[in-house]
Amino acid sequence: MISVIQRVSQARVVVGGEVVGQISAGLLVLLCAERGDADAQADKLLAKILKLRIFSDEAGKMNRSVQDVAGGLLVVSQFTLAADVSGGNRPSFTGATAPDEGRRLYDYFVAQARLAHPLVQTGQFAADMQVHLVNDGPVTIPLRIEPL
């Protein structure tokens, strides 16, 4: 699985003019399932995200996790993270899992996140979404858990 994590002071997802998910301070998680991914990759990625120490402590050091600061998670599906541009200028997305399995893994990730963290919001799978965010820092971290 591939993700891009952004520490935000606020973020929201709009679909068809309506806000479908929003958080104040926390993490925007852009998420893509790759071919060969399974629940184990989702579990490992979620554990890493929840423990990632990228929020400041009293001394200004990035030493706290989203759980430590009671921040929100806004999880947004984004198959374009699997883009391969090595063959030219038009991206290929063959590395992304098929849409049905992508939805299943996305839903699984969100369900597990909701079990482990009190504030989880989402985008809408396979929708045309507008993602609005204020990146705090900025702090943007790519994470990848390789398929087994």
67 is catalytic: no
125 is catalytic: no
Q: Which of 78, 97, 121, 122 is catalytic?
A: 78
From CA 49, how far away is CA 66, in angstroms rounded?
A: 8
Q: Which of 79, 109, 121, 122 is catalytic?
A: 79
78 is catalytic: yes
Half-sphere exposure of 97 (CA within 13 A, CB side): 21
Two tokens at 94? Answer: 């063959």
Catalytic residue list: 78-80
